Each structure stands twice: as structure tokens, then as C-alpha cells.
Amino acid sequence: MLLLAAAAFGLRLARSLPVEALGPFKTGSQRPSLRLDPNAANWPELAALPGFGEVLARRIVTFRDAQPAAPRPVFRSLEDLQEVPGIGPSKAAALAGYLRFGNHGSDR
């Protein structure tokens, strides 16, 4: 069902996901199988991840797109993401397991 909703938004998933990968993030060695780069993802892609939602996803994309063309990427770390209104240290920590920064060749 969730994958159908993602398809309706035209999401570009890097690989197929088991449904449980979109469930709540668990602490320890487990992490979700899909991690997005907030510098490249569109708002529907971000909104599909647990803990984001449409409002926060749109806020991230709006902030990113409002920045000057150089230097890029806008977000190099969780600390940079905290410049987005509504994302503080605790929210950034909760989102960390779903994001990757700058390394487009790997999910790590």
C-alpha cells in the first residue's frame, strides 16, 4: 500500500523496499534500508520517510532551494539540517537514520 502511494507521487526509489523498512526506526545495529540525501530528494520522497511528513519535507526543500547556487551541497551534516525552521537537535537525531549526506554512491 505504501509503495503504491509512493508510486502515485512519482517517487524514485533507489531499490525495492520491504514494507518493514518503512516501519519505526529501531535503535541498535538495525537501520532502514533506504536513506535519502536531503540535497537531492524532492518533498514527496522525504515525506514518505517515517518522522518527516509533508510539512517538514516541504520546509526542507524550500530552505534548500532558497540557498545560493554555491556552495553546494546545502546540507553536509545533521547540524546543517538544523538550520531549517522546526528542526532542532532532537528532531535531527530522530531523522538521522533515514538520511545520508553527500555520498551519492552509497547508502552509508
d(CA 22, CA 74): 26
The whole-number pLDDT of residue 24 equals: 46
Q: Quick: pLDDT tens for 43-68.
A: 999 999 888 899 999 999 999 999 98
Residue 52 gets which letter from DSSP? Answer: T
> What CATH number is given to the structural domain containing 39?
1.10.150.320
Half-sphere exposure of 103 (CA within 13 A, CB side): 7
Domain that holds residue 56: 1-12+35-108
- 48: cell is 514518505
- Res. 27 pLDDT band, cuts 50 70 90: very low
DSSP states along 74-99: S-SSHHHHTTSTT--HHHHHHHGGGB
| Grid cell 540535497 in the structure block, residue | 39
Give strand pairing partners of 36: 99
Residue in 10, 91, 101, 21 with CA at minimum distance from that of residue 56? 91
Give me the percent of the chain exceeding a pLDDT of 90. 51
Q: How many domains does the chain have?
A: 1
Q: Is residue 84 part of a domain?
A: yes
Q: Is residue 30 part of a domain?
A: no
pTM of the model: 0.64
